[in-house]
Structure formats: C-alpha cells, structure tokens
Structure 1
Amino acid sequence: MNVTLITGTTSGIGEALAHQLAAKKHNLLLVARTEKKLKEQSQYLSSQFGIVADFIVADLGKPGGAFYVYEQAKKKNLNVNILVNNAGIGSSGEFVTNNLQSELELLQLNNSSLVALCSLFLADMKSTGSGTIINVGSMASFFPIPYMSVYAASKMFVRSFTQALTEECKPYGIKVMLFCPGFTSTNFMNTSANNNAWGKILTQGAIEQTPEQVAVQVIKALERRKSIHVSGFQNAMSAKLGSLIPSTTLARVFAQRKRKEMGL
C-alpha cells in the first residue's frame, strides 16, 4: 500500500498537514516521539477521513532513528511514495553559551536524519520510477542569523541539499520540493532552547502564519509541482530582497539591531 510519510506530526505544521492530506485521501504513516498522541491521531484521521493511518514511534534526534523508521515501514509492507521531512527544532542565544549537546541533536534531527530518510526512501522510489520528497526548510535558510546561528545554518543546509537533489532526481521521474515557511504559531519557540530572552527578541515583529495556513500552502505547491516554495507573499518578497544584499551585511545589521533591543 502506498503511503505518505510525515515526520513531526504530533503538533504544528506536521499535524495540520496530516489533516490536509487525509482530507485528500492520502493514506498516512506518521512519525514522532509520543506514542499516545500518534495513536490518537492515527485513529482520528482513519475514522474521520476514511483512510489508513499508521504510525511509527521514533526519535529522529538520535543516531539510528531514520534507519529504524525505514525498517519499520518495510516490516509494515508500506510503500512510501511521498516523504515529507517536516520534523525540526531550533535554538536561540549566543552560540558559545548554548548547550553543545542540544546543538548537536539539532543537527542530527534537522540534517542527518533528513539526509538518511531521503537516501533510504529515494532508493525505493528510483526503483519504481516515481515518488515525491518534500523537505521543509525555513525562511532562516536564506539568511545567516546571529543568535540563532546553528538553526539557520541547518536550514541553509536543507535548502542547498534539496535544490541539488531536485536536479539529481529529475532523470528518474522523482519530484523533490523545498518548502520554506516563515514564523509559524506553533510550539517551536516554547522549547527550553528557544524560550529565552534571545528567542523573544529574535521573533519580535515577525510575520506570523498559522500551521493550517502553512499546510494549505504545502498542498498547493505540491499540486502545482513546484520545486521551491516560500510560504506567504511577504516572506517570499523578503527572501528575494534579501538575496540582493551581501550576507555579511545582513548578519552585521541584524546582530547590531538585536543587541540594541537586548540592551547590550
């Protein structure tokens, strides 16, 4: 049975996207860390939309998580014809004072597990000559962001990797899309790594969308077969305008402004 695999589905964009895709009759394979929420979510989506929704409990912030997901999908005899790498975390503050282990786990989740899942499922897609991969990046992928340095760099990696992978996959009939949301009203900033003075300053005045609005944009971009899409008109314009300014200038001005707002 063909399924759409979505990581990070128990809240935010992932949860909203699962609902949107279920409404469009996609059978789903949900991946996250919380078994109770995954079980409830799968049962609800199956009964509400008349689809098959299964789940895998996995921590993609740990080495081996992606391989476990792939193995479990195989054991369930599920063919992942759409892979949505949505799971991600962030951090705020001065890099030198941030928790190093947390930063490394951020890179594991945002980058290493994403690459591993792409590699594992892409091999199957190539053998069948069809499939779709959606990697969720961020507006942060377009700019270096002082005081959110590791997160922004991780999303720059996702952008570069996905754009290159898009071209590599064209000869095989596999569609790859980079989707970049801006600031979204989720629990993203409520983690211990983000819920601090720097986190509040960094997101102050940011253009905000709801997870549901972002999920709708994902579906539209997918149906239009886009290879890259920035969610929201203002975000898209900011990304274009930002590309005209040297990244060193953007980083310097941003850092100076945020230090001033912090009273430093």
Structure 2
Amino acid sequence: MGLIYIVGSLSIAAFLYENLKSLFSIIKSVVEPFFRPNLPKTLAEKFGNWAVVTGATDGIGKEYARELARQGLNLVLVSRKEEKLIAVTNEIGSQYNVKIKWIVADFAKGREVYAHIEKELNGIEVGILVNNVGTIHDPESLDKVSEDMLWDLLTVNVGSVTMLTRKILPQMISRRKGAIVNLGSSSELQPHPNLTAYAATKKFVTHFTKGLEYEVAEHNIHVQLVMPAFVATNMNSYSDKVRQGGLLFPNAYSYARSAVFTLGKTSETNGFWVHGLQYALMKLFPMEIRTYFVYQLFKRMRIEAMEHRLKNQKLS
C-alpha cells in the first residue's frame, strides 16, 4: 500500500505541475511586482521597442499585433498581400501612436523570402518575434490533399518558425535581450486524423520551441510556446459552428489580449483559460482514446467542410 500511495502521489503531483504550471507562473508574475518593484514593468522594458509579427493581416496575428501596439511597441508586420498590410497598418496606426513598418513576404516560396526580410529589418532591433504565420487545409484524408498544399504546410508551418528565428536570434543574443513567441496548436497533443500533416507540423513547433528555450536561456532570451485550441478565425472557415464563436471558441481579439498577457510570464500557455482547461482534460485520457475522439470529431468536420464547399460553389 505504501508503494502504491507514493506512486499515486507522485503521478498526481506530476500531472498538476504539468497542467497548472502556466497558471502558477501567471499568478506569480501578478504578485511579484509588489515584492520586487524594480522589475521591468512593460514589454518594451523587458524585451525591446520593436516587435515583428508574421501572418499579421488576419486572425490571431492581426489582433496580437494590435495588442502589442496598445502596449506601446513599434511593429513590423509581415504578410503576403500588400493591400492587406497597408489596410492593417492604417487601422492600427490610427488607434495607437507607434511606428509601423510592413514587409511583403510569401513564406510558401521558401528560402528566397528570408534574405528579403533580413534586408528589410536592417537597422531594427527586434525585441519580440512572433512566429504566427501558418496554413491549414480543410479536414481531409492525406491521399486527397494536394501535393502543393502539403508542400505549403511543411514550408510555411515548419520552415518559417525555424528560419526566421535563425535570422533574428543572433541580434537578440548580442543584446542579451528579447522574446520569441511561437504559435503552435493544441492539435499537437495527439495525432489528428484528417488533419494529419497539419498536426504533425504543430508537434514540430512544440519540440522546436522547448528545445530552443533551453538553448537561449543563458542569453536572457524568453521563449514562449502558445497552443490555442479553436479560435473563431478564417483558418476555421470550414466550420460554421466555430466561426460563430462562443465560450469554447473565442474571437481573435479576446484570444490575443489573453495570450499577450502571458508573454514574459510563462514559457508555455494555451493562451486562453478555456483552452487551458480543454487541454488539461484531454491529457487525462490515454493517447489512443484522445486520437479516436479527434478522429470522430474531424470525421464530422470533414463532412461539414464538404457541405460548406458545395454551398459556396452553388452561390458562385
């Protein structure tokens, strides 16, 4: 009985630590300034005055950039469409008195875009890098996903977070100051049948981020993994239920406000309290059960996506 008690206690303690460490870190960060008033109080003081945000013209990326601007950071917005970059620059610039620069870059083109970005960033001390850009396809079995789409998944979701971090990291190391935020996904928790390749790329982001965190800790650089669940954005346009929003599906504005609040406070977060609860509850079950549940869920979503496409075809 004694051995069972010890094993059980250790298992419970390990589970609580793994799932509640983000919450405890945030509580600590809220209380700590009262006891250590000399700590940096703003993101600019902690990391620097400029933030680079990729995929900055829609969804989480756009709202994350807006929230950083609200907190006084200058922005470099990176996306593939010039007209949308100009529109978002004007929109955020009309709200907040910050400097904003934009860079047109299509990450699906691969290696060629990074020299262009590096040139455009010349002379800018990047304090925060937000690797948000990503792509996804409607739920579908791998054999029916086009090869072009699969190459884009790998090139954008894996390539961008790796190579842009590599470009910007040396200047952060030389200043001993900075933060790297990588947008992963709760889909990394288990395989995702019908989004198999997408979920695999997000598992890469998890391992890449956690490894990098240890590599650069000695240089005083903060690395954060953000793992959202469903957010009501265009990336989930195949599901009317998700896009309608609700308690389980926050909009991009609410999600980004919550996620930015955790920056500098914890190295790993789901970004939104409901998503944190969902993630913790899913981890209670063995991977086989989680995978089966996700398979059934996305099998229904696959049908919903097909119906959505047919509806749009009839309207067009």
In structure 2, the partner of 1:16 is: 63
1:136 shift after superposition: 0.7
C-alpha distance in structure 2 between counterparts of 1:203 and 1:50, whole Å: 31
In structure 2, which of residues 114, 119, 132 is the aligned counterpart of residue 86 of structure 1? 132
In structure 2, the partner of 1:4 is: 51
Which is richer in helix?
2
Does 1:208 find its partner at 2:238? no
C-alpha distance in structure 2 between counterparts of 1:210 and 1:50, whole Å: 25
CA deviation digits over 1:177-202, x for unaligned, max 9?
Answer: 00111111111023xxxx4xxx6799
In structure 2, the partner of 1:221 is: 262
Contact 2:259–2:272 (CA under 8 A) maintained in structure 1:
no
C-alpha distance in structure 2 between counterparts of 1:19 and 1:102, whole Å: 29
Instruction: Call closer, same or farther: CA 1:48–1:204 in 2, change over 3 Å.
Output: closer
1:248 shift after superposition: 2.9
Match for 1:165: what amino acid? Answer: L
In structure 2, the partner of 1:243 is: 283
1:256 shift after superposition: 4.5
Size of the aligned set, in residue pairs, is: 253
In structure 1, which of residues 166, 169, 179 is the aligned counterpart of residue 216 of structure 2? 169
Instruction: Call closer, same or farther: CA 1:47–1:235 in 2, change over 3 Å.
Output: closer
1:204 shift after superposition: 11
Match for 1:54: what amino acid? Answer: K
1:125 shift after superposition: 0.6
Contact 1:43–1:53 (CA under 8 A) maintained in structure 2:
no
Match for 2:150: what amino acid? Answer: E
Match for 1:218: what amino acid? Answer: A
SS of 1:31 mapped into structure 2: strand
C-alpha distance in structure 2 between counterparts of 1:204 and 1:40, whole Å: 24
Match for 1:82: what amino acid? Answer: I
1:103 shift after superposition: 1.2
In structure 1, which of residues 119, 124, 145 is the aligned counterpart of residue 166 of structure 2? 119
In structure 1, the partner of 2:180 is: 133
CA deviation digits over 1:18-37, x for unaligned, max 9?
Answer: 11111111000000011112
C-alpha distance in structure 1 between counterparts of 2:73 and 2:300, whole Å: 48
Runs of 5+ consecutive residues of structure 2 not aligned to the other structure: 1-47, 305-316
SS of 2:109 mapped into structure 1: coil
Q: State the TM-score, normalizing by the size of structure 1.
A: 0.87
CA deviation digits over 1:148-194, x for unaligned, max 9?
Answer: 1111111111111111111111100000000111111111023xxxx
Does 1:183 find its partner at 2:224? no
Does 1:106 find its partner at 2:146? no
In structure 2, the partner of 1:232 is: 272
Identity percentage of aligned residues: 29
Larger Rg over CA atoms: 2
Of 175-184 and 245-254, the range deviating more from structure 2: 245-254
C-alpha distance in structure 1 between counterparts of 2:243 and 2:203, whole Å: 18
1:219 shift after superposition: 1.6
After TM superposition, the structure 1 = structure 2 runs for residues 193-204 of structure 1, keeping only pairs within 5 Å, are 195=238
C-alpha distance in structure 2 between counterparts of 1:240 and 1:131, whole Å: 29
1:257 shift after superposition: 5.6
C-alpha distance in structure 2 between counterparts of 1:201 and 1:34, whole Å: 28
In structure 1, which of residues 67, 72, 77 is the aligned counterpart of residue 120 of structure 2? 72
Match for 1:116: what amino acid? Answer: M
Contact 2:114–2:163 (CA under 8 A) maintained in structure 1:
yes
SS of 2:127 mapped into structure 1: strand
In angstroms, what is the RMSD of aligned CA positions? 2.5
CA deviation digits over 1:200-247, x for unaligned, max 9?
Answer: 799999920100111111221015x21001133332122223333332
Match for 2:223: what amino acid? Answer: V
Looking at both structures, which has the greater relative contact order when contacts are Cα pairs under 8 Å and sequence separation is at least 6?
A: 1
Runs of 5+ consecutive residues of structure 1 not aligned to the other structure: none
Match for 1:70: what amino acid? Answer: E
Contact 2:232–2:242 (CA under 8 A) maintained in structure 1:
no
C-alpha distance in structure 2 between counterparts of 1:63 and 1:260, whole Å: 33
Of 97-106 and 245-254, the range deviating more from structure 2: 245-254
C-alpha distance in structure 1 between counterparts of 2:273 and 2:73, whole Å: 28
CA deviation digits over 1:127-164, x for unaligned, max 9?
Answer: 11111000011111212111011111111111111111
